[in-house]
């Protein structure tokens, strides 16, 4: 592959609209005010397996890494970033709630346009600090910690001691299961569904929020197992043990390393918390996008094939994308920055870029990665390109995916082990694996391409090797 492009990440659940929002973010005036300049060497591409990947030039990556390093190693800047994150998170969620609530009453395109612009400003501000900066601050923290601690000590530092809202959902569901008689249980479950419907909303419009029937199935599974009390005790103990283990390690550490450990430990929680906020905001903003689709008289999911600028232009002029262009974008696309704007390339231009970034890839019979949670199991591989395929996972299977998300949790409870292409010790898969006590190997780069559904594989999460047997 050309040395110009460096892969940052790949995800199965994203779409063109989301990828364009990320790319546009780095052209915004707000980004320039925070970073000192905009980033222009960026590309977002739909891969052959349907996943979406983000690339950056080596020059812009070096610049961004330097910026992140300066934040991480400065007590003052790190504290300022924490404070800024909390402020922008509240702003993003509040703005999303307001525009979502008002959207049901909006009839004029100009009102919808104004609301969309408000949301996009709040989204971009939060995305830069909450999504990007803290994600890579956590990645840097992991890199630093692994250099000075043993593998077991690193896992202690990089495991949060506080429950994210998604972990709180499980705790509260277990509490509901322990209620008697059944009537108050049903009442509590309805409120529970309202409180946590947003969990799978990694994007606008798709995937759909969790319904009351989903939570009822989860509750029924807990009741059938008869293990609610035991699981609740185990969940509480996990976080209590994390708290104690980190404090012991921190006290034993040299004074000059304590700041590093504290920052890394705090980031292990924020990495989850930032994603909770994004999902809530997208959930609250969904009515706005449905209202826009109604106004434009198009299917709501077709909006996900438009860029932000194209949606705004459609609201201003009524001009929609041709059906033929939508068809080409469904096949595949690459987003590139040209003359300070994000452009969509399809057809032959897309194929050429895809060939460029995939040149030289070698597929074998085993992969190596980072041990996120130790253990050794053998099972049947199930390749999960996105959450839509989670029903394939049966008890004892090996869940293999690009990266896991909170909506993967029901399938993760069934799986015997997890293997991901992306991620490190603070990734969702890694933290959940340690909580569940299941073997997990992350950062394999290409496990989803090496293995196929039905392969019998061995996950050696002691050595960090996954092989077909």
Architecture of domain 366-468: 3-Layer(bba) Sandwich (3.50)
Altogether, the residues listed in the chain come to a count of 469
Name the token pair of 310: 């194209």
Angle between the N-to-C axes of helices 212-225 and 228-252, in degrees from 0 to 180, rounded to the nearest 10? 90
Instruction: At 334, give phi and psi (nearest 5°).
Output: -135, 140
Task: Identify any residues that bridge with 342 across adjacent strands, giving them in sequence order.
Answer: 337
- CA dist 129 and 145 (Å) reads 22
Q: Which of 303, 302, 279, 277 is nearest to 112 (CA)?
A: 303
**pLDDT tens over the chain, length 469 residues:** 445 899 999 988 899 999 999 999 999 999 999 999 999 999 999 998 788 999 999 999 999 999 999 999 898 999 999 999 999 999 999 999 999 999 989 989 999 999 999 999 999 999 999 999 999 999 999 999 999 999 999 999 999 989 999 899 999 999 999 998 877 899 999 999 999 999 999 999 988 999 999 999 999 999 999 999 999 999 999 999 999 999 999 999 999 899 999 999 999 999 999 999 999 999 999 999 999 999 999 999 999 999 999 999 999 999 999 999 999 999 999 999 998 899 999 999 999 999 998 887 667 789 999 999 999 999 999 999 988 899 999 999 999 999 999 889 999 999 999 999 999 999 999 999 999 999 999 999 999 999 999 999 999 999 999 999 9
Q: Tokens 């990495």: give the residue.
A: 271
The string of DSSP codes covering 62-76 is HHHHHHHHHHHT-HH
Place of tokens 């299977």: 397
The torsion defined by the Cα of 90, 200, 321 and 327, in degrees rounded to 10, comes to 160
Q: How far is CA 456 from CA 154, 365, 388, in A?
A: 31, 11, 23
Task: Extract the tokens encoding 127.
Answer: 């995305």
Q: Judge whether 10 and 46 are in contact, CB under 8 Å.
A: no
Q: How far apart are the first and last CA of the chain?
A: 31
- The DSSP secondary structure of 353-373, one letter per residue, reads HHHHHHTT----SEEE-EEEE
DSSP result, 117-172: HHHHHHHHHHIIIIIIIHHHHHHHHHHHHHHHS-HHHHHHHTS-SS--HHHHHHHH
- Are the CB atoms for 399 and 407 separated by under 8 Å? no
d(C-alpha 127, C-alpha 6), whole Å: 20
User: Dihedral, CA atoms, 365, 362, 135, 250, nearest 10 degrees?
Assistant: 50
The answer to whether residues 157 and 144 touch, using CB atoms and an 8 Å cutoff, is no
Give CA–CA dist 212/197, Å, rounded: 8
For the chain, residues classed under CATH 3.50.30.10 are 366-468
Pair 201, 286: CB distance under 8 Å: yes
């Amino acid at each position: 592959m050309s040395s110009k492009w460096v892969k940052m990440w790949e995800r199965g659940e994203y779409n063109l609209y989301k990828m364009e929002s990320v790319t546009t973010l780095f052209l915004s005036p707000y980004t320039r005010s925070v970073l000192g300049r905009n980033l222009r060497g960026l590309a977002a591409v739909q891969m052959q397996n349907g996943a979406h990947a983000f690339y950056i030039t080596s020059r812009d990556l070096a610049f961004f890494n330097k910026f992140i390093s300066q934040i991480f190693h400065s007590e003052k800047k790190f504290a300022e970033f924490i404070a800024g994150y909390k402020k922008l998170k509240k702003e993003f969620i509040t703005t999303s709630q307001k525009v979502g609530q008002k959207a049901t009453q909006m009839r004029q395109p100009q009102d919808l346009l104004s609301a969309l612009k408000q949301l996009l400003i709040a989204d971009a501000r939060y995305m830069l600090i909450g999504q990007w900066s803290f994600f890579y601050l956590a990645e840097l923290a992991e890199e630093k910690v692994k250099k000075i601690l043993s593998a077991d000590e690193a896992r202690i530092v990089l495991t949060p001691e506080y429950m994210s809202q998604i972990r709180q959902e499980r705790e509260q569901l277990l509490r509901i299961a322990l209620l008697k008689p059944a009537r108050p249980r049903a009442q509590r479950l309805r409120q529970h569904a309202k409180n946590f419907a947003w969990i799978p909303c990694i994007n606008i419009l798709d995937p759909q929020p969790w319904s009351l029937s989903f939570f009822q199935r989860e509750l029924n599974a807990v009741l059938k197992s008869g293990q609610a009390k035991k699981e609740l005790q185990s969940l509480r103990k996990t976080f209590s043990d994390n708290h104690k283990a980190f404090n012991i390690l921190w006290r034993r550490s040299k004074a000059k390393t304590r700041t590093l450990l504290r920052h890394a430990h705090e980031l292990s929680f924020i990495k989850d918390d930032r994603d909770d906020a994004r999902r809530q905001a997208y959930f609250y903003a969904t009515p706005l996008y449905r209202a826009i689709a109604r106004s434009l008289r198009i299917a709501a999911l077709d909006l996900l094939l438009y860029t932000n600028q194209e949606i705004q232009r459609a609201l201003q002029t009524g001009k929609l994308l041709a059906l033929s262009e939508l068809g080409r974008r469904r096949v595949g696309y690459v987003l590139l920055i040209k003359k300070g704007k994000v452009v969509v390339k399809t057809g032959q231009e897309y194929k050429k870029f895809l060939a460029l970034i995939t040149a030289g890839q070698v597929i074998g019979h085993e992969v190596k990665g980072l041990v996120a949670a130790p253990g050794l199991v053998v099972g049947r591989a199930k390749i999960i390109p996105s959450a839509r395929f989670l029903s394939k996972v049966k008890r004892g299977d090996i869940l293999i995916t690009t990266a896991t998300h909170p909506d993967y949790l029901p399938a993760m409870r069934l799986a015997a082990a997890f293997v991901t292409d992306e991620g490190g010790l603070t990734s969702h898969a890694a933290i959940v694996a340690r909580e569940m006590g299941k073997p997990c190997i992350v950062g394999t780069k290409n496990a989803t391409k090496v293995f196929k559904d039905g392969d019998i594989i061995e996950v050696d999460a002691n050595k960090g090797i996954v092989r077909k047997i």
